[in-house]
């Protein structure tokens, strides 16, 4: 993936295509307003991934409306239950 700096100006909407916590949507809006390093999807135009505080956010920016659509967000950290299971098996 190619890294690029994204910064959106003015008013823009950030919405979710899949169940996504409101905090993630607000955080992405803040990052895009301030400017953030994002990985461009090499197979799809206007699709990007941002890594922030152990969270990966995959999103699309409409070139027509500048609306941002979050397609997926996930934690990059193992779930506490998984950590406990790994510790128990060691």
pLDDT at 52 over 50: yes
Strand partners, 57: 50, 73
Band (66; pLDDT cuts 50, 70, 90): confident
pLDDT tens digits for 22-46? Answer: 999 999 999 999 999 999 999 999 9
Domains of the chain, first to last: 2-89 (3.30.2310)
pLDDT at 57 over 90: yes
The residue assigned the tokens 């998984």 is 82
* 41 alpha carbon, distance to own chain's centre: 12
- The average pLDDT across 46-73 equals 94
In whole angstroms, give the CA distance from residue 89 to residue 29: 41
pLDDT of residue 83: 47
In whole angstroms, give the CA distance from residue 2 to residue 24: 23
């Amino acid at each position: 993936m190619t890294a690029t700096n994204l910064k959106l100006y003015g008013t823009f909407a950030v919405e979710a295509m899949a169940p996504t916590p409101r905090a993630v949507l607000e955080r992405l809006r803040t990052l895009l307003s301030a400017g953030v390093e994002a990985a461009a999807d090499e197979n799809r135009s206007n699709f990007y991934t941002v890594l922030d505080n152990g969270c990966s956010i995959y999103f699309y920016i409409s070139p027509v409306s500048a609306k941002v659509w979050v397609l997926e967000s996930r934690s990059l950290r193992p779930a506490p239950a998984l950590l406990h299971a790994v510790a128990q098996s060691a």
